[in-house]
Amino acid sequence: MNERPADPKTVLLRRGEVHSPADPFATAMVVERGQVAWVGSEGAADAFADGVDEVVDLDGALVTPAFTDAHVHTTATGLARTGLDLSAAPTREAALDLVRDFAAARPGDRVLLGHGWDAARWPGGRPPTRAELDEATGGRPLYLSRIDVHSAVVTTALLDLLPDAVAREDAPLTGDDHHAVRAAAFAAVTPAQRAEAQRAALAHAASLGIGTLHECGGPRISSEEDFTGLLRLAAHEPGPRVVGYWAEQSDEGVAKARELGALGAAGDLFVDGSLGSHTACLHQPYADADHTGAAYLDAAAVTAHVIACTEAGIQAGFHAIGDAAVTAVTEGVRAAADKIGLTRVRAARHRVEHAELLTPETIAAFADLGLTASVQPAFDALWGGADGMYARRLGPERARALNPFAALLRAGVPLALGSDSPVTPLDPWGTVRAAAFHRTPEHRISVRAAFTAHTRGGWRAVGRDDAGVLVPGAPADYAVWRTDELVVQAPDDRVARWSTDPRSGTPGLPDLTPGHDLPVCLRTVVGGRTVFVRPSE
């Protein structure tokens, strides 16, 4: 991880609530040279007041570690903010109207980019046809990714820019065809547009109290120029830290990841696709399709990649959603451990992104192999439940097994929380809420556990055990929040009652019960440098 110069200023924050295991009743904190120097009580803060460069009166606000979003596509997130957002379109007709308006408003764009359509929520369940999109755009190149980013609809004009090998049937493009059209669409984005999108995404993240993003790039997702440009921008401009992962296989992937400045040959190295696009790889067929999805990598390929990464001293990581894909990962990592040693494999902290459909056997394998589960609780909030997309794809009973956060934690599997933005929005407190109030009650975890997975868990996932928590010596990455009374929320009420007893020494967090307002970020600080201040605060 690239470290920027620390802010030399010494700052005292006081008269608030500081969320710190160093002192569960802390109301003040001192930051010096980009690190937390002291955490304690208001009375003791007086001793520091004359020796600091700045005093921040918190006026009762809450200070927490800044969030880490462990799975982001930063440029795509920025383009979704500056491009066409179809996530709120209630019908296919409404989506087409939005396409028409967008095309009319951007006559100079070489390619029109949009994201977020979800035909599963529309009456009739049908995506736009190519003819409908051709008409709506006036025959211009258009790329519209589905909400899960594993399929897309496009216009004829965009297909005309590609080789004839790309499928032309009138259906959403998946697999290699989708990767080809996405590459063509994003290649038409100018460097200036790309940098604008990256700045927009990073600024938005900072405004939400996010101090670090894990960028999941790769040759089937973005481009080398996009990836290195983002890392340069984040290293030289104020804003969240960016940790880069480059998803390319085996020896060549390891070399490329090193060359590009990535922490690992990991992230979205696809073992399968997604449930929404019927490309997640399953042991049993879909409930609404007569196949089991797509397998892009087998266990042997996983083994080769894990060995290459482990021997090179970098992380391996895989995108795996369906139970067959997760099984391929665990079998592949197990075979690697048998060849080069379990201790070496565990020490490397390899990752699995999404890890949605697991079995007791694969959960146990995650724990034994030291795999980090990089998960997205908002997926359950968006697609879970008896009437959700998951239930339509798998049937209600099988869908109840998805995203078993509590079972993972009970087994000792490290969790790192993220959004997969732009698949679901950057929304850290909403993510914590989604984990704590999972649609399947047995998968719920405490707010404290989810918060830890979204702060310290993200740092641990990149090999840092000394960060993501406000204790002396830790990086001064923190956020200041306006929120209501602090509470302790856990799935088991007996645990919650004990945790609020002063004898437990458990620091409280905002009440995230659905329907309650989420905390509002007032300030975000990264390495002691302020990267966001809410206007008028």
The neighbour count for residue 168, using CB atoms within 10 Å, is 12
For residue 398, which amino acid is it?
R
Pairing status of strand 478-482 against strand 486-487: unpaired
Domain boundaries, the chain: 10-66+470-483+519-533, 78-188, 191-462
Q: Which residues pair with 39 in a beta bridge?
A: 29
- Give Cα separations from 384 to 26, 144, 149, 278, 427 (angstroms): 38, 24, 18, 16, 18
Q: How far apart are CA 385 and CA 383, in angstroms?
A: 7
Q: Is the peptide bond before 422 cis (omega within 30 degrees of 0)?
A: yes
Any idea how long the chain is? 537
- CA 122, distance to chain mean position in Å, is 26
Q: How far apart are the first and last CA of the chain?
A: 31
Residue partners of 107: CB distance under 8 A and separation at least 6: none
pLDDT at 108: 84
Count of Cβ atoms closer than 10 Å to residue 298 Cβ: 13
Interatomic CA distance for residues 295 and 96, integer angstroms: 33
C-beta of residue 60 within 8 angstroms of C-beta of residue 91: no
- Looking at residue 499, its pLDDT comes to 46
CB atoms within 10 A of CB 311: 14
Instruction: Supply the pLDDT for residue 178.
Output: 87
Question: How far, in Å, are 63, 92, 345, 360 from residue 341 at the CA level?
Answer: 42, 53, 7, 23
CA-nearest of 16, 19, 2 to 429 is: 19
Distance CA 147, CA 276 (A): 8
Beta-sheet strands, E only, within 359-497: 372-375, 415-417, 478-482, 486-487
Q: Which CATH architecture has domain 191-462?
A: Alpha-Beta Barrel (3.20)
Report whether 387 contacts 399 (CB < 8 A).
no
User: Given this chain, do its domains 78-188 and 191-462 carry the same CATH topology?
Assistant: no
Rounded-to-5 percentages of helix, strand, coil across the chain: 40, 20, 40
User: Which residue stretches of 138-281 are H helix?
Assistant: 156-159, 175-187, 191-207, 224-236, 250-260
Residue 497: which residues within 8 A CB-CB, separation 6 or more? Answer: none
- pLDDT at residue 271, as a whole number: 98
Question: Tokens at residue 322, please?
Answer: 């369906």
**Cα(196)–Cα(110) distance, rounded to whole angstroms?**
16
Joined together, the tokens standing for residue 351 give: 């990752």
Sequence-distant (6+) residues with CB within 8 A of 70 are 214, 374, 416, 417, 418, 457, 458, 461
Single-letter amino acid, residue 403: N
Q: Which residue has the tokens 């959603």?
A: 321
Question: Cα separation of 440 and 14, whole Å?
Answer: 40
Q: Rg of the Cα trace of the chain?
A: 23
Q: Class for domain 78-188, per CATH?
A: alpha beta
- Tell me the residue ranges of DSSP E strands in 6-47: 10-14, 17-18, 28-32, 35-40
Closest by CA position to 245, among listed 222, 211, 269, 215:
215
DSSP 165-176: TS--SSS-B-HH
One digit per residue, pLDDT tens: the chain, 537 residues? 556 676 779 999 999 999 999 898 999 999 999 999 999 999 899 999 888 999 999 999 999 999 999 999 999 999 888 889 898 999 999 999 999 999 999 898 889 999 899 998 999 999 999 999 999 999 999 999 998 888 899 999 999 988 766 777 788 998 888 888 888 888 888 888 899 999 999 999 999 999 999 999 999 888 999 999 999 999 999 999 999 999 999 899 999 999 999 999 999 999 999 999 999 999 999 999 999 999 999 999 999 999 999 999 999 999 999 999 999 999 999 999 999 999 999 999 999 999 999 999 999 999 999 999 999 999 999 999 999 999 999 999 999 999 999 999 999 999 999 999 999 999 999 999 999 999 999 999 999 999 999 999 999 999 999 999 999 999 999 999 999 989 988 766 544 444 445 545 678 999 999 999 999 999 999 999 999 999 986
Instruction: Let me know: does 26 contact 466? Beta carbons within 8 Å.
Output: no
Considering the domain 10-66+470-483+519-533, what is its CATH architecture? Roll (2.30)
Which stretch of DSSP H or E encloses residue 533?
strand 529-533
Task: Map tokens 């990962």 to a residue.
Answer: 329
CA 329 – CA 303 distance, rounded (Å): 8
